[in-house]
Amino acid sequence: MWTQGEAENHGATFSYNTTVIGGHIEENRLSLHISETKHLENWNGKFPLQPEMVLIPKLVVNSAGLSAPVLAKRFDGLRSAVIPPTYYARGCYFTLSNTTICPFKHLIYPIPEDGGLGVHVTLDLNGQVKFGPNVEWIDGIDDVSSFLNKFDYSVCTNRAKLFYPEIRKYYPNLKDGSLDPGYAGIRPKLSGPRQSPVDFVIQGEDIHGITGLVNLFGIESPGLTSSMGVAEHIATRFFRC
C-alpha cells in the first residue's frame, strides 16, 4: 500500500465503495455520475441508475480495465463510433507439482496462438513453475457483472487435459497428474477470434473531441508492467494545470 500513501501525500483522495456509473457531456466537458457501490447490488440493468453525486473534474482518465468500454458507453454525448469493439478472454494457469527440482532455468514462450502468447512457462519468486495462460473467449458480459467485477475466475480441473499436449511440445517429460489448478485472469481485448492483434488504445480529445477525457481501452497484459509509463504519458500529454 506504499503507492497509496505516497499518492495521498501528494494530495490524492481515494473514495472506496463508490462507483462511477456514467456521465454526461455539458459545454464540451464531462460530468461524472457517482453512486455507492451497494446500490448496484440489486440493480437488474433495466432501469436507469440515478447518481447520488455529480463531479465536474478537469481531467478524467477512464482506466476501468474490463469495464472501460462499458463505462464509456454510459457517457451521454460521447460518440459511440469512437468506442472500439471489445472482447473478453479468460486465461487459466496451472502449477507444476510432484517435483523437487525445477526443470526450467528461464522462461519459455512457444509460438503465439490465436488471441494469446500460448501456454508458456513462468517462474515466480518462490521458484514455483506455472504454465499458461490459455485463451477462452467469453460472451455476454452485462453491465452489472462488469461494474461489480462479477466475472468467473475459477479454474476447472478438467481444463488440464488441454494443457498437457501444449506443454509437452517443449517439455516432453511432463507426467500425467503433474498439473494443479492455479488461478485465472480476464483480458480486455480489442481484437476477437481469428483477428489480427490490436495494441493498447490511449484515446484523447484529438480523437473523441471531449476536453479533459482520456479513455484507456484494451489495456491487457503487459498493462500492469507498463502502468507507470502509461501514467507518465497521460500526465505529460493531457494534464493541464
Contact of 141 with 45, CB cutoff 8 Å = no
Same topology, domains 3-84+198-238 and 88-188? Answer is no
Residues whose CB falls within 8 Å of the CB of residue 196, separated by 6 or more in sequence, listed in order: none
Average pLDDT of adjacent 10-residue blocks, the chain of 241 residues: 82 91 94 91 76 94 93 95 94 90 89 86 88 90 78 92 96 95 94 91 96 95 89 88 57
CB neighbourhood size of 93 (10 A): 19
Residues whose CB falls within 8 Å of the CB of residue 14, separated by 6 or more in sequence, listed in order: 4, 7, 8
Q: Which residue has the cell 521458484?
A: 127
Classify burial at 117, counting beta carbons within 10 Å of its beta carbon; exposed 0-12, middle 13-18, buried 19 or more. middle
Report the CATH architecture of 3-84+198-238. 3-Layer(bba) Sandwich (3.50)
Residue pLDDT, tens place only, 140-192: 777 777 877 888 899 999 999 999 999 999 999 999 999 999 999 999 999 99
In the three-class reduction of DSSP (H, G, I as helix; E, B as strand; rest coil), residue 71 is classed as helix
| pLDDT of res. 45 | 67
Contact of 231 with 124, CB cutoff 8 Å = no
| pLDDT of res. 39 | 84
CATH class held by domain 88-188? alpha beta
Domain segments of the chain as ranges: 3-84+198-238, 88-188
| pLDDT of res. 149 | 80
Phi, psi for residue 113 in degrees, rounded to 5: -105, 175
| pLDDT of res. 142 | 76
